[in-house]
Structure 1
């Protein structure tokens, strides 16, 4: 950030998969690979996308609810291997930024009062690789699945606010799933749903909805008019 602030600091938190990057092709392919490796029928695409946002153990507990815990753990390990292999093979292309995401992030980052962060079901390793691949160095707080209960528990947002010293009234959570919105409500922050992600927009029950990244700066000015 550059320049002096002219008002209170505001915290803008983003989900990652389905919000900033379109990773659904990789997620579905890797989950399918993990199930096939265990000799199991892979879940349907819609079922896989329905659990995006949950931490991996919770996601597999839902997708493989009839399997034993050891099998679920094997699926978690298999998914991680497949995902890491895809990342090494394809680089940043395996999770491309959504149209307008980079421009919106750069615009917001240029506002001295805005602090940007992420709250994601990704692992620390996965987020670090994504940030490096897309050169997303503007995030001052980075909350990942390794250090928190799975969404929709509010721990990620509460920790981000604690790290930055920003209160709930000056914090927004932007995401594409019901887990993101429930997490935001539990933390007492304003929720912004995006309609291009993996859960149906009608199910999000967000405080505000976004159909285009280009509209985000204007929406934030309306939320925080001073």
Structure 2
């Protein structure tokens, strides 16, 4: 019997393109305290971190006094936007994402997981909107763990799946995902369509892919080195 393997996906910037909602919610949060809104590039640069860590990185001088207000302002704006627009429209799946998930899911020795900076409420809503919940055996969120790149989320994914780090791979679009994988002693696949530059990913990832069609070969290459 083939050895059990685990593939863990990041969500924002990897499976779904949620940048418009994220940028809009960030703008609302900063406007709510009467402060300048960070640039779109700066906002997308912190996607993947937990909200407190994201705001602390975006506005370290404001965070001590306004951190909680910024977090709550973001959450309220994001939830309001979600009510106005269906998540399949506001956070659409990237091309090829669903097919890639299905291809991996039908393999008897491959389990799928999620490690995301989203809240549990946000992830649940997204999984239900896209009918993805059935594919994943474990889903870890920022509510329950330290922010990326701490390895806690991946360690819990591996524990839930019963898979060792040598047979697990993290797939993500940011340096936080790649560093988290390294901190968990896991290999990683960077995706070129997300929110961090390809150069940043190439410095950290085991391999970087340009589209989901290349994922299977990338995983086979990684796993061939561990057998």
TM-score (norm 2): 0.95
- Partner SS, residue 190 of structure 2: strand
Tell me by how many angstroms 1:94 deviates: 1.1
**Match for 1:202 among 174, 192, 199?**
199
RMSD over aligned Cα atoms: 1.0
Large movers: runs of 4+ above 4 Å: none
Question: Counterpart of 1:113?
Answer: 109
The answer to whether the 8 A contact 2:55-2:63 is kept is no
Whole-angstrom distance in 2 between the partners of 1:17 and 1:65: 23
Tell me by how many angstroms 1:222 deviates: 2.5
- Partner SS, residue 192 of structure 1: strand
Tell me by how many angstroms 1:45 deviates: 0.4
Is it true that 1:46 corresponds to 2:41 in the alignment?
Answer: yes
Question: Counterpart of 1:97?
Answer: 93
Note the 1:46-195 alignment, pairs <5 A: 46-92=41-87, 93-136=89-132, 137-195=134-192
- Partner SS, residue 6 of structure 2: strand
Whole-angstrom distance in 2 between the partners of 1:186 and 1:10: 18
Whole-angstrom distance in 2 between the partners of 1:211 and 1:60: 30
Once the two structures are overlaid, the 10-residue window that deviates more, 56-65 or 116-125, is 56-65
- Partner SS, residue 205 of structure 2: coil
Whole-angstrom distance in 2 between the partners of 1:125 and 1:69: 26
Note the 1:12-23 alignment, pairs <5 A: 12-23=7-18
Tell me by how many angstroms 1:95 deviates: 0.6
Question: Counterpart of 2:211?
Answer: 212
TM-score (norm 1): 0.95
Tell me by how many angstroms 1:221 deviates: 2.2
Count how many residue pairs are aligned between Structure 1 and Structure 2.
Answer: 221
The answer to whether the 8 A contact 2:206-2:222 is kept is no
Once the two structures are overlaid, the 10-residue window that deviates more, 211-220 or 119-128, is 211-220
Whole-angstrom distance in 1 between the partners of 2:178 and 2:206: 9
- Partner SS, residue 81 of structure 1: helix
The answer to whether the 8 A contact 2:171-2:189 is kept is yes
Tell me by how many angstroms 1:68 deviates: 4.7
- Partner SS, residue 83 of structure 2: helix
